[in-house]
Chain A
Amino acid sequence: SQTIHQWPATLVQPVGSPLSLECTVEGTSNPNLYWYRQAAGRGLQLLFYSVGIGQISSEVPQNLSASRPQDRQFILSSKKLLLSDSGFYLCAWSVLGMGMAFFGQGTRLTVV
Chain B
Amino acid sequence: KQEVTQIPAALSVPEGENLVLNCSFTDSAIYNLQWFRQDPGKGLTSLLLIQSSQREQTSGRLNASLDKSSGRSTLYIAASQPGDSATYLCAVNQGGKLIFGQGTELSVKP
| Chain B associates with chain A | yes
Q: Which of A6, A98, A103 contacts B93 (CB 8 A)?
A: A98
How long is the Cα–Cα vector from A102 to B44 in the complex, in angstroms?
Answer: 8
A105 at the interface (CB under 8 A from B): yes
Interface residues of A in 74-112 (CB under 8 A from B): 88, 90, 92, 94, 96-106, 108
* Chain B residues, Cβ within 8 Å of A106: 41-43
- Number of residue pairs spanning A and B whose beta carbons lie under 8 angstroms apart: 59
Q: Is the CB of A105 within 8 A of B43?
A: yes
CB distance from A102 to the nearest CB of B (A): 6
Q: B36 contacts which chain A residues (CB < 8 A)?
A: 103
In which size bucket is the chain A interface?
Answer: 20 to 34
What DSSP secondary structure best describes chain B's contact surface? strand
Q: Which residues of A contact B45 (CB under 8 A)?
A: 103
A106, B34: Cα distance in complex, Å: 19
**A108 contact from B41, B46, B95, Cβ within 8 A:** B41
Q: Which of B43, B49, B100 has the most CB of A within 10 A?
A: B43
Chain B positions within 8 Å of A44 at CB level: 89, 91, 98, 100
A24 within 8 A of B: no
Closest to A104 in B: B43
Q: Once the chains bind, are A97 and B46 in contact (CB under 8 Å)? A: no
Contact surface of A with B, Cβ cutoff 8 Å: 6, 32, 34, 42-44, 46, 49, 51, 59, 88, 90, 92, 94, 96-106, 108
